[in-house]
């Protein structure tokens, strides 16, 4: 089973992994936690984009690491600012999602990708690459993960085996330097993780029969259409009040309102209308107050999206 999954990753992500450099872990969130436990010790500094993933922040801080913010923009993590941070402080790792940052959906540019790997080698830090939305990519050319271009053993790659597999089969994968993977396997054994043989056999058959690849191709076309339709709705109702960019990957839009927009008041007024949008303060790591929200389009009905965005426009117009 591990050989099958490894081959699937090599083919879909441009890797050349072998059994010494990859480990599979049941549960995607615990995968991230286990990586942090093996990599970090008390007092280590981890740089991550701001705004960023609050769950990752909490995991790093639970391992007694210090999280340092680094700016992001439409090209992803600002590696020039990262270089400045490295000159003033010893850091252990940089965490990012280069294909589509959370929450902004920005894709790391090719020049910044090369700069990041160069800095990792110069300043001796690890790069934790989170790539859970790899299959939800809408660009004409395939996205190549940082790990595929890592020649110095700096990148620790974290992903799901496949988001197209059944939702009850949440297997995470970690690829990285063999010494790190061996330590991760030791922790995995201490936790006592065991797979489900029946479930794994069923998934193996789906892969061998070609069901998963066919489903993936059909799904990406469906989600691309949903992304485009959602963008049209957002533009129709919110073009006067907010800006957003059509994401190249993932299942959500990042919507930035004018600086004086009171997001908390907006969310409260929407809730009074029976429309719930998660509070960004609870999901997003940021060193500043964000006049922005993240709206998913993957599972929401287009009519519901239109109802919600229309309500947002009406509230902002009244203000």
Q: What is the pLDDT of residue 167?
A: 59
Alpha helices in the chain (DSSP H): 2-13, 28-39, 54-62, 79-88, 110-123, 178-191, 197-208, 211-238, 263-272, 280-283, 302-318
Q: What is the pLDDT of residue 192?
A: 77
Q: What is the pLDDT of residue 168?
A: 52
Q: What is the pLDDT of residue 273?
A: 93
Q: What is the pLDDT of residue 205?
A: 80
In words, the CATH class of domain 213-318 is alpha beta
Q: What is the pLDDT of residue 109?
A: 96
Helices 302-318 and 263-272: crossing angle in degrees, nearest 10, is 120
Nearest to 63 by CA among 41, 85, 95, 88: 41
* pLDDT mean for each 10 residues of the chain (319 residues): 78 85 86 96 97 95 97 96 97 97 96 98 98 89 92 94 66 92 94 71 76 80 95 96 95 94 93 90 82 92 94 93
* Entry pTM: 0.92
Q: What is the pLDDT of residue 114?
A: 97
> Structural domain boundaries of the chain?
2-209, 213-318
Q: What is the pLDDT of residue 110?
A: 96
In words, the CATH class of domain 2-209 is alpha beta
């Amino acid at each position: 089973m591990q050989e099958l999954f490894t081959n699937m990753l090599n083919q879909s992500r441009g890797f050349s992994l072998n059994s010494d450099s990859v480990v599979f872990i049941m549960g995607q969130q615990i995968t991230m936690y286990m990586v942090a436990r093996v990599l970090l010790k008390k007092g280590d500094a981890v740089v991550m984009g701001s705004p960023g993933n609050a769950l990752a922040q909490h995991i790093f801080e639970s391992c007694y690491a210090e999280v340092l913010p680094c700016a992001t923009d439409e090209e992803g993590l600002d590696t020039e600012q990262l270089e400045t941070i490295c000159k003033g402080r010893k850091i252990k790792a940089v965490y990012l999602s280069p294909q589509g940052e959370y929450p902004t959906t920005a894709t790391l540019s090719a020049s910044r990708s090369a700069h990041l790997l160069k800095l990792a080698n110069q300043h001796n830090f690890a790069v934790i690459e989170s790539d859970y939305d790899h299959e939800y990519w809408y660009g004409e050319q395939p996205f190549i993960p940082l790990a595929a271009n890592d020649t110095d053993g700096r990148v620790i790659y974290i992903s799901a085996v496949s988001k197209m597999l059944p939702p009850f089969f949440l297997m995470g994968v970690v690829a990285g330097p063999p010494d790190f993977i061996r330590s991760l396997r030791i922790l995995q054994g201490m936790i006592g993780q065991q797979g489900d043989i029946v479930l794994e056999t069923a998934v193996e058959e789906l892969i061998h029969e070609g069901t998963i690849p066919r489903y993936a191709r059909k799904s990406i076309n469906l989600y691309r259409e949903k992304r485009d339709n959602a963008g049209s709705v957002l533009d129709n109702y919110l073009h006067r009040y907010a800006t957003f960019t059509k994401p190249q990957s993932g299942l959500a839009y990042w919507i930035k309102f004018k600086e004086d927009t009171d997001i908390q008041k907006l969310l409260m007024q929407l809730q009074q209308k029976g429309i719930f949008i998660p509070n960004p303060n609870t999901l997003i790591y940021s060193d500043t107050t964000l006049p922005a929200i993240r709206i998913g389009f993957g599972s929401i009905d287009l009519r519901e999206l239109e109802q919600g965005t229309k309500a947002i426009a009406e509230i902002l117009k009244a203000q």
